Structure 1
């Protein structure tokens, strides 16, 4: 029995534990049995790798791995809600802000576009003119030829005194050119002597404008007037028995700087046309049509029209209008043609075409010469 060291309380235990243990006996010498190799120590277990969800949560809400699970998920839910809300705000802003900027920029863009359109509009020619000479058969006329009629032609003309249009057709076939008598000014008797004996050329002038803005033609004036002696040697005249007024304007090429006057019957007849009327063009307006009558006395004249206008930009301008790239032409009869035939309907048939170059004292012939010479000093 082993002794307990002095001063030490023996440990409590079971009887078997407190029983005396037998003393081991030495073993007999002999072969030593082989010793089994020591067992391999167990490999330490690696900590669990975080799941994909945990990694995603750490990416979205870093720094929450060590929080308690419940608190962590509450933080995650709050964060995701905020991200979703910010995403919706971003989507709205991505749509609304450019639209707002676009809307706010529209007035400026519209103003810029308008300025560009105005600049292009200003560069456009204000208007152009298209001219169509009136070649319709007039009721009364003068036909001029650059040569005298032969004896057979004179006899043939004598047979046509009852058919004025047939006579004109015959003379035209010989190379004759038709002139017109000027408009009658029955409402302005004071003007009748001024235009008696003058020759008229008539054309319809249409004015076109491609401008988007409106403009107004304020005045017109005959310019670049250049006159010369007529080439006609023969004049055959069918004088009017009464007057005829036409709606339009008349340019007197024998009077310098004379404004075009109204030829319409009525209270404005003989008044300066543009003192009472204007021509509006552009901005979708219909083309402006104007009957133009140019009269000259004992001269053939080349001429043009200067038209002054004002546009919507309060700009004033002027254009020179021609027959394309050529001047207008107003042909006249000479004061004393080599042959002059005047129809006198008071004469018997077959003798109504009077040869005034042979019988100038006849009343119809004398009236013709006096009418042409009455204001000959005003001729250019």
Structure 2
């Protein structure tokens, strides 16, 4: 029933506006209220905080359906808000923080972003330079962030920053920053290869003052919290890749059956059949593994190894699938008016955000 509701939402609230959003480089703000009213935002949040009290399978259904419909940008916006940010507040926030922000995130009144990456640091989170200096009952935050999803719409940002001079991970903390505070600045909306309708932005903090009560957890525990929450983020990215790869495959099967060359359908050539057979096998194996990982996750048994493996293998497989599918479209695949072209562009980020393939290999190698 929930999956059917999501499909109905996609047809009514995304499909009519998608091309305009792609051209504008961001969704309408009303998209957030619509998602809240339909129950698509943060379905895993307990009823006590305004949520539906579902498990993470509901989050995966939202991602699967929006991604499979071919709308990677709007899917990414919701996923960062619901599957990433909400998890940090639910699991690492204080009771006051949860009571204040989670109901607003469920309704779509508040849009949340997380600010990790900085202009000089990518995968190396321990190299961040954004500082939060305590001054009595407040922190004063200075620094710059980039590649922030929901950067233009967000009302609340989870900021990864340094609260001490301790080296490496020891001095890192997470602090909630409301975007209406003096000194907070939204930077430019970045032009990207794909995910055009998902706004990705720069942001800066210049002597931004927030109360000490905005600290999530204890000082210096930020990196540990990140490591605890990242497996869920990587699992949901694996689901994004699976659904988008399945979409690319399905539309390609239809195309090869209709397109003719040398007097027969492209699907009738042995090369095409064998290539599609390989892709089908990859998809079947991928779905089986991510579903196993999801079952572990809802039992709180998902390991960093499993999550890293799912993220790496599914995103790499996703890249192979869309590349092969575009090839089977021939020259038309390179045209933006054909959906496979957009799916190809949208796929490229999957091997980068949430931890690059190289980082995933490093994490997996530690378990050999």
Which structure has the highest helix share of the two? Answer: 2
Same fold by TM-score greater than 0.5: no
Interval of TM-score (by shorter of Structure 1 and Structure 2): under 0.3
TM-score, with length taken from structure 2: 0.24
When Rg is computed on C-alpha atoms for both structures, the one with the higher figure is 1
Task: Return the TM-score normalized by structure 1.
Answer: 0.23
* Larger strand share, 1 or 2: 1
